[in-house]
Amino acid sequence: MKAKKVMALVLAGILTVSAFAGCGENGDPKESGSKSVSENGTVELEVWNCNTGFLPCEKDSELYNFYKELTGVGIIQPYVEWNGGSNYQQQLNLKISAGEMPDLFLPVNGMEADLIKNGALLDLTDILPEKAPHLWESVPEEVWDIVRSYDPTGEGRIYGVPNVRGFTVYSGLIRQDWLDALDLEMPTTQDEFVEVLRAFKEDDPNGNGMADEIPTGGREEAKWMDHLFAMYGLAMQEGAPDWDIYDGELTYAGVTENMKDALQFIRGLYEEGLLDPETLLNDKAGWEGKINSDRVGVCYHWAESATAFSEAMKTATGTEPDWAVLPAISAPGYESFYTTKQVTGLEWVVKNTEDEAVIDAVMKVLDAYGNPDLWDDFYYGIEGMHSEKVNGKLQKKADDKGTQQNLIINPANSLADLEFKVEMFKDMEAADESRTWALDQAIRDLEEVQQYGKVVAGDGMPSSVYEGYPDILNRTLYVEYASKIITGEYDIDKFDEFVEKWYASGGEEVTKAAREWYAKTQ
Amino acid sequence: MAEKLSAVRQSRGRSSESWGHNIKKYWPYYLMVLPGFIYFIIFKFIPMLGSVIAFEDYNIIGGIFNSEWVGLKHFRALFTYEDFHRILRNTMILGFCKTILIFPIPVILSLMLNEVRGLKLKKAIQTAIYIPYFLSWVIVGGLIFDLFGIGGLFNNVRNALGMESILVMQKESWFRPIFVLSSIWKDAGWGTVVYMAAMSGIDPSLYESAAMDGASRFQRMRHITFPLLIPTIITLFLLNIGNFLELGFDQVFNLQTPMTYSVSDIFDTYVYRVGIQQAQYSFTTAVGLFQSVVGLALVLIFNKLSQKTSEGGLW
């Protein structure tokens, strides 16, 4: 009897202790986190965004002062390891659950939906046009409409600043110098394309006397070979099937007839040895290693990567390659294009607060971020740390994670247009003429690929449409079937089984949610 | 000491003697236990209460106390998951491989090591087989992919023998053998540590008298070393079986490819996809709870079995 009483007491004790322990976790997000306003009246904000290993930014450090000059606000960024976003997400969740949400931050993996529902984010709908007019103008009206569709309450309020890329970034890339060496024309039909691949494989375009050429290929999970899928009019980004209008309705590209035909074609290439046999095992380093060792004829990447690839190969092998745009080649009966998405999610959301001083400070930062006159400053960072003057022109220094602070406000990557991008490359040329041959490739390719780009209907779709169906979001089923069909493990007819399974395992519901979202943006 | 312990045991049986009296009488012992007791309360039992989020729709703003209570929703989601039978089957098969094929290897290894005469040779072998344990699975996974890639050792040998290259990492039928072999290569050496320690505690006079009676080396191993190892083996086996459904995410994740999902997708990789990547804390907790309950049941069952068949189990 006594023992039971003691046990009861102990249990009660545990519960009390844990109740106290838990108290810290449910503070009101609106009130928690005190604002520090320094003596001279500068408001300080804690800002979180991607940092791939650069130094953090403490109060009164160089970058702190640099940003203060540009925005009038003190910006403090603690070091948060990025690690593909997963570590960042964990740290951020931890902070938020402790009631210490950063003032301004990058949300990841659709986490904003939950935060909005809980009233934790600031409603920007009315204050942005008023207090951050530059930003309001820099983002096209139709993109703001997409942001409105993110509001999970369905009221169409704006809770974040989108990451906008108003031009086509991705492109198939082909070795123009290989074509020239073998006296071949740039392919324009699928048959010609396959002929070119065969020639690359057999006629030793790299001239080393060995049949070590890999005509084309990609990476594990059927990623980074979109140029092959594109032939069938498939919306796709870095290997992830996207959403577009098929048969008159918004549909997941992965379950269309187009996809079946594309897989059939790619399977043929694999069988013939025109696709890297290790395609489905290549990781980033593995595949890019092959590209940069003068063995790959056609690959898929950002158009501007032509420069990086060319310079890397020159360093590694001494060869100066010419990576040209592979036109979007249509398979018979299909209309080819390179998928363009203007909106790639939210770049910034703001902590909900009633403190006017903080709101004003955040708006100052966002206005500067959206001001084209300041984009150069944000891009080049601090002279001496991030860039240096060469021939009288500012030039970015090579990344040095040991000495450079993280340039957290980066409109060049998340807001700027094609013109700005091209200007950047031209500036680099002016600074160092010996790089002209490689930089010219990026400029040429960036401009050339625009004609093949098409903005897909799924542009800007929030990942919340996948809520409850992580396997669809992760495309687990698609990757498994696509990989096995390409390697010949599965017959092409298995594709129909995949479509059925996909719809049955949540595809139905996701499609419905996606179409509802699409209707809202129209 | 022994007397006092037996007194403690006796006093438990007598209802006349209360706990309080007992504590007063043996307070130094209770005092010694106290730090450990507090440690377990704070770091093991209190966090365990966090498992309630398995029954809630946990969100980071609401926390444990203000998230919506959803009962068994996450367990239903797990059991009705399209591929639940697939991940359960894969987990069970790999679990059996672990228990039946991998578990005995350290025992055999340590019995063999025990017979190595030269002390230097023995130490050298031990060091060599310990080393892989200190490599992370990310590295071992990379090594294995390279080993079996085109241009890797495996395919070079095949080519030299006039055979075609074969990419085994994307073949379903090769996944389980590779899982077993890589486990053994990495962990078996380290697993011998406990057994070697147990063997060093065996009374040498047993061997001497057996040798005098004309027992061969093999007979001594068979009739002295092995029987005396059995309690250690059982203890380790029971500790192992508690993690039957928890195979370790690292190894499988670093060895699997989409082409081998059908045999390699297990609870841990599934939880990673669903839970960690998308911060579905409640669901992840539910799966963890399920794995633990199965583990607990297995430990209880096998403990009973071992109590019946041999001298004792874990407790």
The domain locations on chain B are 55-309
**A304 and A321 housed in the same domain:** yes
Does residue A483 belong to any structural domain of this protein?
yes
Q: Do B82 and A6 touch (CB under 8 A)?
A: no
Q: Do B259 and A96 touch (CB under 8 A)?
A: no
**A244 and A316 housed in the same domain:** yes
Write out pLDDT tens, residues A351-382.
999 999 999 999 999 999 999 899 889 999 99
Helices (H), A132-256: 133-138, 141-149, 176-181, 190-202, 226-230
pLDDT-based confidence at B78, cuts 50/70/90?
Answer: confident
**A508 and A444 housed in the same domain:** yes
Write out pLDDT tens, residues A305-343.
999 999 999 999 999 999 999 999 999 999 999 999 988
* C-beta separation of B79 from B286 below 8 A: no
What is d(CA B46, CA B38) in angstroms, rounded to the nearest whole number?
Answer: 11
Does residue A31 belong to any structural domain of this protein?
no
Rounded to the nearest integer, the mean pLDDT of chain B is: 87
Contacts of A480 in chain B (CB under 8 A): 258-259, 261-262
User: Residue A280 pLDDT > 50, yes or no?
Assistant: yes
Residue A327's domain comprises: 170-341+438-521
Contacts of A474 in chain B (CB under 8 A): 273, 277
Q: Do B257 and A505 touch (CB under 8 A)?
A: no
Q: Do B259 and A476 touch (CB under 8 A)?
A: no
Amino acid at position B2, single letter = A
pLDDT-based confidence at A27, cuts 50/70/90?
Answer: very low
Beta pairing class for A323-326 and A170-175? antiparallel
Q: Do A97 and B82 touch (CB under 8 A)?
A: no
**A232 and A323 housed in the same domain:** yes
Of A50-54, B79-83, B255-259, least confident by mean pLDDT is B79-83
Of A227-241, B9-23, B188-202, B245-259, least confident by mean pLDDT is B9-23
**Residues counted in chain A:** 522
Amino acid at position B193, single letter = V
What is d(CA A493, CA A495) in angstroms, rounded to the nearest whole number?
Answer: 5
Residue B91: its pLDDT value, please?
Answer: 93
Residue from the list B61, B150, B167 with its beta carbon closest to the beta carbon of A29: B61
Q: How many CB atoms lie within 10 A of CB B8?
A: 13
Could you tell me the CA-to-CA distances from A293 to A176, A208, A300, B246, B255 in Å, in that order? 16, 12, 16, 42, 26
Q: Give A273 to chain B, closest Cα distance, Å.
A: 13
Q: Give B144 to chain A, closest Cα distance, Å.
A: 12
Among candidate residues A106, A100, A108, the one with its CA nearest the CA of residue A29: A100
**A151 and A117 housed in the same domain:** yes
Q: Do B59 and A221 touch (CB under 8 A)?
A: no
Q: Do A114 and B261 touch (CB under 8 A)?
A: no
Q: What is the count of structural domains for chain A? A: 2
Q: Give A183 to chain B, closest Cα distance, Å.
A: 31
| pTM (2 d.p.) | 0.82
User: Residue B6 pLDDT > 50, yes or no?
Assistant: no
* Domain harbouring A207, CATH code: 3.40.190.10
Does residue A4 belong to any structural domain of this protein?
no
Domain boundaries B55-309, CATH class: mainly alpha
Residue from the list A6, A17, A487 with its beta carbon closest to the beta carbon of B19: A6
What is d(CA B127, CA B22) in angstroms, rounded to the nearest whole number?
Answer: 50
pLDDT-based confidence at B306, cuts 50/70/90?
Answer: confident
Among candidate residues B34, B30, B28, the one with its CA nearest the CA of residue B19: B30
**A122 and A193 housed in the same domain:** no
**A300 and A444 housed in the same domain:** yes
**A152 and A221 housed in the same domain:** no
Helices (H) and strands (E) in chain B, counts: 19, 2
Residue A38: its pLDDT value, please?
Answer: 62
Last residue of a domain, one of A416, A450, A479: A416
* C-beta separation of B264 from B258 below 8 A: no
Strand partners, A105: A48, A349
User: Residue A39 pLDDT > 70, yes or no?
Assistant: no
* Span B202-228, average pLDDT: 90
Question: Which residues of B lie inside 8 Å of A (Cβ-Cβ)?
Answer: 18-20, 41, 45-46, 49, 59-66, 82-83, 145, 149-150, 165, 167, 169-170, 172, 257-259, 261-262, 273-274, 276-280
- How big is the CA angle at A85 (ends A305 and A122), to the nearest 5 degrees? 110
Does residue A296 belong to any structural domain of this protein?
yes
Query: Does the complex come out with an ipTM higher than 0.85?
Result: no
Residue B42: its pLDDT value, please?
Answer: 93
**A361 and A465 housed in the same domain:** no
User: Residue A139 pLDDT > 70, yes or no?
Assistant: yes
Does residue A260 belong to any structural domain of this protein?
yes
What is d(CA A55, CA A405) in angstroms, rounded to the nearest whole number?
Answer: 4
Q: Which residue do the tokens 């109590």 mark?
A: B307
Residue A13: its pLDDT value, please?
Answer: 47
Joined tokens for residue A209: 């006397």
Question: Which of the two residues, A86 and B216, has the higher pLDDT score?
Answer: B216
Of A222-226, A363-367, B229-233, least confident by mean pLDDT is B229-233
User: Residue A429 pLDDT > 70, yes or no?
Assistant: yes
* C-beta separation of A406 from A80 below 8 A: no
User: Residue A109 pLDDT > 90, yes or no?
Assistant: no
What is d(CA A296, CA A415) in angstroms, rounded to the nearest whole number?
Answer: 33
**A305 and A412 housed in the same domain:** no
**A355 and A459 housed in the same domain:** no
Question: Which of the two residues, A17 and A301, has the higher pLDDT score?
Answer: A301
User: Residue A30 pLDDT > 80, yes or no?
Assistant: no
* C-beta separation of A510 from A465 below 8 A: yes
| Three-class SS state of A483 | helix
* Span B95-122, average pLDDT: 92
Q: Give A251 to chain B, closest Cα distance, Å.
A: 22
What are the DSSP E strand ranges found in A329-400? 338-340, 343-350, 387-390, 393-396
What is d(CA B192, CA B107) in angstroms, rounded to the nearest whole number?
Answer: 7
**A241 and A291 housed in the same domain:** yes
User: Residue A170 pLDDT > 90, yes or no?
Assistant: yes
